[in-house]
């Protein structure tokens, strides 16, 4: 797969700050790929987005877009307007005095032939599901429709890729789920790559092909949503993407291997109830709480693993389907699901 974007060893330190906003960050975006930059506020994701767009200058590193070096120590810096990037802003930044069609046509001003511009606009309007809304102005559209117009305008000039800054932050929870699916479908059908910045890990898991996790300017992990979620390489990444259980375990002695008591991190979705109470690594616990979450019950077990040298009680959370009824005080055995390391 060829790369739409390659970021190599990017470092950025702002004046009067000790910690780098970005510390030797490297990522690559394949053609047709959707990548999400995920992290808490201050992690550096917006700074990286601005550097890629050319709105901020890094202190060192290299940025290559569509095979052309746009920033590097031995290359001339390419201006933002010459990088052929589409940008979808957090507030959409639609022109209030232009209707839907003219907002999209604005992005096609470099095409000299009017017929060609119109043909491209018609195609993008159809792709974004905006037929029948061409003559409406932004204030006459819903938030989801405004987002699709902004996305269509960014895709219209056939950029190397598009950048999306918190694209779902202005949407109500009821519409967000549908619009996440719509955005992914539109971007995938366009064949254009996309780099999304978001602090909402659920958005990232649903929309992206690849996740890049940042913490305090350093890249923590890059991988598919499934790999990052189920095979996190750090406690920070695991906790960022949802609830995790910290389960004490006994490390076995061996040549050049650590020994003693430690902890493993296990997601509630990786635990299931079993009838076998004698299996290796199985945990027996008493139900101390059960909360209905719609599609499942979130059940907390009070456990004491016999394999641990500690007598401390550990609370373990599991997710149980609505068809299974557990009562407070019930004793159940759970085991860890086996997942491939993919």
Average pLDDT score over residue span 126-130: 92
Judge contact between 171 and 179, C-beta under 8 A. Answer: yes
Say what the pLDDT of residue 37 is: 96
* Rounded CA separation 199/37 (Å): 8
Residue 182 pLDDT greater than 60, yes or no = yes
> Which of left, alpha, beta for 24 (phi over 0: left; psi -120 to 50: alpha)?
left
* 266 vs 244: CA distance, rounded Å: 6
% pLDDT > 70, the chain: 92
Provide the pLDDT for residue 252: 57
- Answer whether residue 139 shows pLDDT above 60: yes
Which candidate, 291, 294, 283, 277, places its Cα nearest to that of 316?
283
Is residue 308 predicted with pLDDT exceeding 50?
no
Residue of 197, 176, 111, 182 lying closest to 152 (CA atoms): 182
CB-based contact 72:59 (threshold 8 Å): no
Mean per-residue pLDDT, 58-75? 93
Q: How confident is the model at residue 309 (pLDDT cuts 50, 70, 90)?
A: very low
| CATH topology agreement for domains 3-240 and 247-336 | no
Distance between CA atoms of residues 123 and 113, nearest Å:
16
Give bridge partners of residue 5 from the DSSP assignment: 29, 65
- What is the CATH code of the structural domain delimited by 247-336? 2.40.50.140
Tell whether the model's pLDDT for residue 260 goes beyond 60. Answer: no
Helix (H), strand (E), coil (C) string for the chain: CCEEEEEEEEEECCCCCCCCCEEEEEEEEECCCEEEEECCCCCCHHHHHHHHHCCCCCCEEEEEECCEEEEECCECCCCHHHCCEEEECCCCCCCCCCCHHHHHHHCCCCCCCHHHHHHHHHHHHHHCCCCCCCCCCHHHCCHHHHHHHHHHHHHCCCCCEEEEECCCCCCCHHHHHHHHHHHHHHHHHHCCEEEEEECCHHHHHHHCCEEEEEECCEEEEEECHHHHHHCCCCHHHHHHCCCCEEEEEEECCECCECCEEEEEEECHHHEEEECCCCCCCCEEEEEEEEEECCCCEEEEEEECCCCCCCCCCEEEEEEECCCCCCCCCCEEEEEECCCCCC
Confidence of residue 339 (pLDDT cuts 50, 70, 90): confident
pLDDT of 222 strictly over 90: yes
pTM score of the predicted model: 0.85
CATH architecture assignment, domain 3-240: 3-Layer(aba) Sandwich (3.40)
Q: What is the pLDDT of residue 8?
A: 97
321 pLDDT above the threshold of 60: yes
Residues 6+ apart with CB under 8 A from 152: 104, 124, 125, 127, 128, 130, 186
pLDDT at 123 over 90: yes
What is the pLDDT averaged over residues 232-261? 77
**To the nearest whole number, what is the mean pLDDT of the chain?**
88
pLDDT at residue 306, rounded to an integer = 52
Least confident of 52-61, 248-257, 318-327: 248-257
Cβ neighbour number for residue 183 with a 10 Å cutoff: 25
Question: Is the pLDDT confidence value at 102 over 80?
Answer: yes
For the chain, domain boundaries: 3-240, 247-336
pLDDT, tens digit, for every residue of 285-296? 899 999 998 889
Task: Give 13's pLDDT tier (boundaries 50, 70, 90).
Answer: very high
Predicted confidence band of residue 9 (pLDDT cuts 50, 70, 90): very high
* Burial (CB count within 10 angstroms: exposed 0-12, middle 13-18, buried 19+), residue 202: middle
Confidence at residue 279, expressed as pLDDT on a 0 to 100 scale: 66
For 58, phi then psi, to 5°, come to -75, 165
pLDDT at residue 299, as a whole number: 93
């Amino acid at each position: 797969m060829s790369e739409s974007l390659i970021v190599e060893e990017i470092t950025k330190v702002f004046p009067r700050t000790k910690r780098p906003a970005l510390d030797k960050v490297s990522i690559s975006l394949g053609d047709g790929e959707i990548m999400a930059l995920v992290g808490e506020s201050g992690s550096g994701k917006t700074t990286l987005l601005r550097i890629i767009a050319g709105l901020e200058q890094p202190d060192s590193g290299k940025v290559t877009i569509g095979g052309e070096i746009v920033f590097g120590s031995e290359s001339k810096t390419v201006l933002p307007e010459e990088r052929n990037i589409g940008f979808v802003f957090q507030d959409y930044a639609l022109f209030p005095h232009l209707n839907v069609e003219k907002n999209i046509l604005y992005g096609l001003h470099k095409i000299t032939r009017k017929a060609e511009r119109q043909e491209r606009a018609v195609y993008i309007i159809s792709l974004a599901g905006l037929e029948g809304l061409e003559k409406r102005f932004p204030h006459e559209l819903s938030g989801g429709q405004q987002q699709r117009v902004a996305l269509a305008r960014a895709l219209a000039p056939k950029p190397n890729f598009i950048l999306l800054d918190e694209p779902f932050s202005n949407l109500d929870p009821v519409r967000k789920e549908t619009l996440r699916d719509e955005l992914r479908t539109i971007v995938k059908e366009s064949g254009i790559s996309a780099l999304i910045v978001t602090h909402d890990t659920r958005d990232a898991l649903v929309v992206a092909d690849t996740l890049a996790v940042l913490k305090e300017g350093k890249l923590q992990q890059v991988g598919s949503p499934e790999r990052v979620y189920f095979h996190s390489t750090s406690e920070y990444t695991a906790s960022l993407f949802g609830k995790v259980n910290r389960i004490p375990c006994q490390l076995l002695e061996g040549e050049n291997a650590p020994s003693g008591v430690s902890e493993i991190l296990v997601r509630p979705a990786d635990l299931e109830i079993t009838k076998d109470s004698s299996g290796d690594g199985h945990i027996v616990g008493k139900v101390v709480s059960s909360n209905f979450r719609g599609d499942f019950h979130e059940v907390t077990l009070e456990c004491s693993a016999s394999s641990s040298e500690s007598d401390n009680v550990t609370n373990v959370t599991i997710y149980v389907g609505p068809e299974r009824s557990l009562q407070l005080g019930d004793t159940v055995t759970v085991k860890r699901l086996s997942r491939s390391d993919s």
